[in-house]
Structure 1
């Protein structure tokens, strides 16, 4: 597929094992698996086989544009929705753009990756003398799930469940599979995997319930998620809910409310989040920092600052100390509504009570708000504090402060050392981002050219 011998593929350098690099190069070049390709004395183990299977989605399934270029491949710009694979197949046949997790994904590369990973999975067992275990079977199942090959996935799981004593398919494996399908937007398929646990002689635990509830809440299927919660709350049920179960609902209600853009829906979802929080306290569960931060952030973003302040005092009374994320929610709110002095007070309170170390996300809203109201001198002072703390502001923030100083005639306040430090940091960040971007050849494969 790629005959040039001087082509070595990007991201291979982070694998320490030479055999892993060698196998991935064979996979990308569509080379054959034979004994002459690899060292005869090498003994295959779980770690290199898992590393190879785990790298397949990175090289073959990652889109060459848009979302696939982001460092976190599970991050989606638009709210995640339940996908229809048949409709996506029709769109691909009509050369229409498919949005969502598979935007700009090349079906040819995906099929090639599935084919080569399947060949390697069975080759390493038949010719490499390796016996697959629960970990390698799990990684192969995740490869099929990320490729959206559901028919092949269920056949593979049935085949592995018949081997030996059936220990290759465990509750942990199905739970990881549910998480992967949920991240891909295949929530109904994740529910199928959850209900098929009994078929593979696996008993769901509280982590499996939490995983499928999180997948349902991410796409707004709150009715199905609440039915599972009611099942967990039955007296004597073997998997009672925990703090994380209620935190999932609270966080999802707040996030989904903001995504709707409807005032009535926002009020309804925020009411449900607060109701879930009170129900959690009534049942004797102790909220953690994630629970409080999710609810406080939702209240701040929907202008319910009084409720957010009550939650802040309540978490301190319960011995749950707030952190930087907690204060950042208040800082963003006060900066947006032009109550800048209260935002600065929250920043000082965080530093004075040693509840966290301010970062760029803490200083940036204050700096932007100060520039908007013409307090350019104070904005420059906060920018200097940010730089003295070892942080580099965004290029937009830096230019905004420079423009505000020039408009007010205070350009003489600019310190040459601070300016050079900021500009060098911004330039270094840009170079690092450009260096991290892979170079794509005509077939879309990631490669770097090196001398022999």
Structure 2
């Protein structure tokens, strides 16, 4: 499509291209968008961070995690500093695919590379752990949040505590309840 446009003497600007990508991704044309992005690059259209904000979540939701990683690394090679939400999209995709070890590792890499997760990313991580039955890991992320100065939402504590009780980890559930009460007193 982009090649045809360039043959007709029209190459869209990056904003128009991003709008087209977004519309096509929303309609489920992920593979087409990936190909279109490659063609656009070959023709001299330089993607910006907004391009990656459209593509990385879209390919991640579609289960194309390797493509999401490729796009993230392209963005970084081009000098863009990825938002936490771009990491979150990949982490969520990994969790949905049952690849929790990879998600945990990537989450750690995110921190090491100087891209500290924000509260929504931590909250998403807790939620994905709970959905995957990884209650102890979810509890660990809640503790980590507090260690970096964030106060988790009450819903996050509730999900984790219920999961811990359900899997027989009553002592840990009680400690998480106590931690929440302590945090609420401090606020």
One fold, TM greater than 0.5? Answer: yes
Deviation at 1:234?
5.8
TM-score (norm 1): 0.36
**CA distance in structure 2 between the aligned counterparts of 1:277 and 1:411, rounded to whole angstroms:** 50
Q: Which has the higher helix share?
A: 2
1:254-269 superposed matches below 5 A: 254=25, 256-257=26-27, 266=28, 269=29
**CA distance in structure 2 between the aligned counterparts of 1:249 and 1:233, rounded to whole angstroms:** 18
Tell me if structure 2 keeps the 8 A contact 1:331–1:362.
no
1:269-280 superposed matches below 5 A: 269-280=29-40
1:150-299 superposed matches below 5 A: 235=9, 241-254=12-25, 256-257=26-27, 266=28, 269-299=29-59
Specify the alignment match of 1:300 in structure 2. 60
Can you list the C-alpha shifts for 1:259-293, whole angstroms capped at 9, x where unaligned?
xxxxxxx2xx2233223312321231221122123
Aligned pairs, how many? 183
Specify the alignment match of 2:87 in structure 1. 327
Tell me if structure 2 keeps the 8 A contact 1:243–1:287.
yes
Can you list the C-alpha shifts for 1:218-277, whole angstroms capped at 9, x where unaligned?
xxxxxxxx9xxx5x9964x8xx732222111112211x22xxxxxxxx2xx223322331
1:396 and 2:155 are equivalent in the alignment: yes
Specify the alignment match of 1:347 in structure 2. 107
Where structure 1 has 5 or more consecutive residues not aligned to the other structure, the ranges are: 1-225, 258-265, 429-452
Aligned with 2:124 (options 365, 377, 385): 365
**CA distance in structure 1 between the aligned counterparts of 2:59 and 2:176, rounded to whole angstroms:** 40
1:386 and 2:116 are equivalent in the alignment: no
1:407 and 2:166 are equivalent in the alignment: yes
**CA distance in structure 2 between the aligned counterparts of 1:369 and 1:333, rounded to whole angstroms:** 10
Deviation at 1:388?
2.9
Change (3 A) 1:243 1:348: same
Change (3 A) 1:283 1:244: same
Aligned with 2:97 (options 331, 337, 345): 337
Specify the alignment match of 1:317 in structure 2. 77
**CA distance in structure 2 between the aligned counterparts of 1:233 and 1:424, rounded to whole angstroms:** 66
Deviation at 1:345?
1.1
**CA distance in structure 1 between the aligned counterparts of 2:152 and 2:85, rounded to whole angstroms:** 18
TM-score (norm 2): 0.80
**CA distance in structure 2 between the aligned counterparts of 1:337 and 1:366, rounded to whole angstroms:** 14
Deviation at 1:359?
2.0
Change (3 A) 1:274 1:398: same
Tell me if structure 2 keeps the 8 A contact 1:250–1:274.
no
Structure 1 consecutive aligned stretches of length 4 or more whose deviation exceeds 6 Å: none
Tell me if structure 1 keeps the 8 A contact 2:63–2:97.
no
**CA distance in structure 1 between the aligned counterparts of 2:120 and 2:64, rounded to whole angstroms:** 21
Deviation at 1:322?
2.6
Tell me if structure 2 keeps the 8 A contact 1:334–1:342.
yes
1:377 and 2:136 are equivalent in the alignment: yes
